[in-house]
């Protein structure tokens, strides 16, 4: 069942999303070689709690250990913070959720740590651009499949691959609500978009083959061929018939440029 939000509820989610955007900005300031991923997590948690929010991911499914999902290089999503020290040439996906005002928000960004190869830089650029290709399809009357199709065709036209096992989702009082928002699919299929729908759109794009596996830790998803993977995510509402992007990369991009 899909929970459509009122304008007032979308406003509450926007506040949650704005705190999330600022927390991402705090993490972005710290991304550099020599930093431990556990320290990124500590900063995010402290910042979110200092501003009255709760990290959505901490304790998720009874036992997720972090406030951030941190996925480095061939890790795709759901990696967790650790003593791992970032090295020049790494890429790191930072995914975060905030619970504020009774509502979640969800957003992810993938950073290059120092200079990276041209191929990797293109992977990051194409993945981020594919998110906005998906967002362009968000309007009343379109369907979830229009988002999926736009992302898939854009990514594949650049000779990268789209992961199929993991998808975007509705966002609201629960972190993961209906409907699913796949990053692959056919135009004109799926749930019709209308005012009040709030979804997380989150393309996960691989440099090599699209296949992924789960590590024995029970959480981390990585590419089967161990080639790099990137992930960008925004929480988006349909409002007045159009897309309203509720989360923001503004605070990240004040301090980080690819």
- For Mg ion, the binding residues (CB under 5 A) are 95, 106, 108, 200, 233
Give 76 or 200: the residue with its C-beta nearer to Mg ion.
200
Q: From the CB of 199, what's the least distance to Mg ion, in Å?
A: 9
What element of type H or E holds 50? Answer: helix 37-50
Give 105 or 239: the residue with its C-beta nearer to Mg ion.
105
Q: From the CB of 29, what's the least distance to Mg ion, in Å?
A: 20
Give 90 or 95: the residue with its C-beta nearer to Mg ion.
95
The two structure tokens encoding residue 210: 């699209």
Question: Which residues touch 94 (CB under 8 Å, ≥6 apart)?
Answer: 24, 27, 40, 68, 69, 70, 108, 109, 110, 111
Q: From the CB of 83, what's the least distance to Mg ion, in Å?
A: 23
CB-count burial class (<10 Å; 0-12, 13-18, 19+) for 234: buried
Give 176 or 194: the residue with its C-beta nearer to Mg ion.
176
Give 24 or 43: the residue with its C-beta nearer to Mg ion.
24
Q: From the CB of 191, what's the least distance to Mg ion, in Å?
A: 17
Q: Angle 118-136/144-157 helices, nearest 10 degrees?
A: 160
Q: From the CB of 57, what's the least distance to Mg ion, in Å?
A: 8
The two structure tokens encoding residue 10: 């979308």
For residue 196, how many other CB atoms are within 10 A of its CB?
16
């Amino acid at each position: 069942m899909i929970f459509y939000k009122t304008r007032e509820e979308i406003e509450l989610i926007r506040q949650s999303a704005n705190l999330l955007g600022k927390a991402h900005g705090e993490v972005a300031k710290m991304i550099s070689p020599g930093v431990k991923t556990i320290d990124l997590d500590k900063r995010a948690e402290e910042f979110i709690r200092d501003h009255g929010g709760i990290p959505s991911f901490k304790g998720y499914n009874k036992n997720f250990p972090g406030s951030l999902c941190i996925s480095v290089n061939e890790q795709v999503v759901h990696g967790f913070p650790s003593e791992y020290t970032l090295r020049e040439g790494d890429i790191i996906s930072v995914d975060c959720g905030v619970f504020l005002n009774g509502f979640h928000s969800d957003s992810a960004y993938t950073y290059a740590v120092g200079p990276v190869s041209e191929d990797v830089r293109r992977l990051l650029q194409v993945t981020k651009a594919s998110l906005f290709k998906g967002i362009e399809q968000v309007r009343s009357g379109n369907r979830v499949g229009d988002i999926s199709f736009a992302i898939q065709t854009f990514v594949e036209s650049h000779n990268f691959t789209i992961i199929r096992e993991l998808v975007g989702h509705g966002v609201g009082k629960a972190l993961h609500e209906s409907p699913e928002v796949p990053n692959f699919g056919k135009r004109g299929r799926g749930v019709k978009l209308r005012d009040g729908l709030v979804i997380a759109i989150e393309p996960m794009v691989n440099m090599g083959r699209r296949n992924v596996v789960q590590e024995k830790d029970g959480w981390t998803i990585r590419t089967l061929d161990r080639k790099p993977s990137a992930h960008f995510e925004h929480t988006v509402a349909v409002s007045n018939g159009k897309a309203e992007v509720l989360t923001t990369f503004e605070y990240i991009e004040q301090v980080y440029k690819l």
